[in-house]
């Protein structure tokens, strides 16, 4: 039970839904109702390896954060209290080794070194982040945001391999928006979601730093609120949040065929972001920062699961 809590099952479920949702969307655009690639062995292994790398990252993060968590989250402290440190580190490397083997297999059967490269990069970045990166000024925030953005990019690369040279006809009537960009459709959708994930997770990490200041001082970590103070950190986070809303509005206004109903989940994300923007200006306690953190997470989930909504809109709309 404690091991399950340690790997953050809810976060892993969100990652899995994002990967399968985006994969389902690409399948629908190119193959209609076919889902043969979505539930293939190779794609299932890609999702599984991504999940166990994320799980291993959560373990190693808690392993190096024991001092901070004793102050920030004493009720949720697991390593050293319910799970031995030795068991945690062995579990971390065991999960990563399995992910490495899967990546090697995928690179071989799909004839692409990128799967092995991205997996090894993610494993090492998560180790560096946990051991050193999060203690460096702003570095940890950027690293975690970048790794989050890799998820839709990884899905996009997989489906690009399948359909880039395929004779399957692009169904421009299925999703008319961006139909004029069908030559690079997978690239644009994946990159758009990656940018969305990067910006929102970057903001969320900054807000988490404001929530965890007292414990982070024990590491010691040079987070934005510790180095710059709360006021300047709030300004930085607010600018990033505001930029996300503006970006959503620009996409809506500059794409003629994009109806409001089509981007309803993204609009919901924008509303939640605006709410976070307002609450952040008034926040001055750990509880308030935690609430903003959860709202940003909901906004990110709403945006990342938009491809599932697009498919349901077509099926039941």
pLDDT digits (tens, 9 = 90+) for 103-141: 999 999 999 999 999 999 999 999 999 888 888 889 999
List C-alpha distances in Å: 31 to 44, 161, 169, 289: 18, 15, 8, 44
- Quote the DSSP letter at residue 139: H
> How confident is the model at residue 255, as a pLDDT?
58
Please check whether residue 269 is in contact with residue 300, taking contact to mean a CB–CB distance below 8 angstroms. yes
Please provide residue 239's backbone torsions phi and psi, each rounded to the nearest 5 degrees: -65, -40
> How far, in Å, CA of 252 to CA of 264, rounded?
11
> How far, in Å, CA of 278 to CA of 280, rounded?
6
Please check whether residue 154 is in contact with residue 18, taking contact to mean a CB–CB distance below 8 angstroms. no
Please provide residue 230's backbone torsions phi and psi, each rounded to the nearest 5 degrees: -65, -45
Its pTM stands at 0.90
Please check whether residue 209 is in contact with residue 141, taking contact to mean a CB–CB distance below 8 angstroms. yes
> How far, in Å, CA of 124 to CA of 130, rounded?
10
Give, for all 317 residues of the chain, the pLDDT tens digit: 778 888 889 999 999 999 999 999 888 877 766 677 888 999 999 999 999 999 999 999 888 877 777 777 777 778 877 788 899 899 999 999 999 999 999 999 999 999 999 999 999 999 999 888 888 889 999 999 999 999 999 999 999 888 766 655 666 555 545 555 566 778 888 988 998 899 999 999 999 999 988 888 887 888 899 999 999 999 999 999 888 778 777 766 655 556 667 778 888 888 898 899 899 988 888 899 999 999 999 999 998 888 888 888 777 65
Sign of CA dihedral 256, 257, 258, 259: positive
| Domain edges within the chain | 2-316
Which tokens go with 245? 């809303």
* H helical segments located in the chain: 2-6, 9-31, 41-64, 66-72, 85-109, 114-131, 139-163, 185-211, 213-216, 224-228, 230-254, 264-282, 286-304, 306-316
């Amino acid at each position: 039970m404690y091991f399950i809590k340690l790997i953050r099952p809810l976060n892993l479920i969100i990652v899995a839904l994002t990967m399968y949702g985006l994969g389902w969307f690409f399948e629908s655009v190119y193959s209609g109702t076919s889902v043969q690639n979505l539930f293939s062995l190779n794609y299932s292994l890609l999702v599984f390896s991504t999940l166990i790398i994320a799980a291993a990252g959560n373990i190693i993060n808690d392993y190096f954060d024991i001092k901070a968590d004793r102050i920030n989250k004493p009720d949720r402290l697991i390593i050293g209290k319910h799970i031995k440190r030795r068991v945690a580190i062995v579990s971390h490397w065991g999960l990563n080794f399995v992910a490495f083997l899967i990546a090697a297999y995928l690179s071989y059967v799909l004839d692409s070194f990128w799967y092995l490269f991205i997996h090894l990069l993610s494993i090492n970045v998560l180790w560096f982040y946990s051991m050193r990166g999060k203690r460096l000024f702003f570095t940890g925030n950027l690293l975690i945001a970048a790794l989050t953005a890799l998820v839709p990019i990884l899905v996009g690369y997989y489906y690009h391999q399948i359909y880039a040279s395929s004779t399957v006809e692009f169904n421009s009537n299925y999703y008319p928006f961006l139909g004029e960009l069908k030559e690079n459709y997978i690239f644009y959708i994946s990159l758009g979601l990656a940018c969305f994930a990067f910006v929102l997770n970057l903001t969320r990490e900054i807000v988490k730093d404001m929530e965890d200041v007292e414990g982070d001082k024990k590491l010691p970590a040079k987070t934005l609120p510790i180095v710059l103070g709360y006021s300047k950190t709030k300004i930085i986070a607010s600018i990033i949040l505001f930029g996300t809303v503006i970006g959503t509005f620009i996409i809506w206004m500059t794409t003629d065929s994009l109806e409001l109903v089509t981007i309803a989940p993204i609009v919901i994300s924008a509303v939640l972001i605006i709410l976070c923007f307002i609450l952040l200006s008034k926040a001055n306690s750990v509880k308030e920062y935690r609430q903003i953190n959860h709202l940003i997470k909901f906004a990110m989930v709403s945006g990342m699961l938009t491809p599932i909504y697009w498919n349901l809109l077509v099926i039941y709309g």
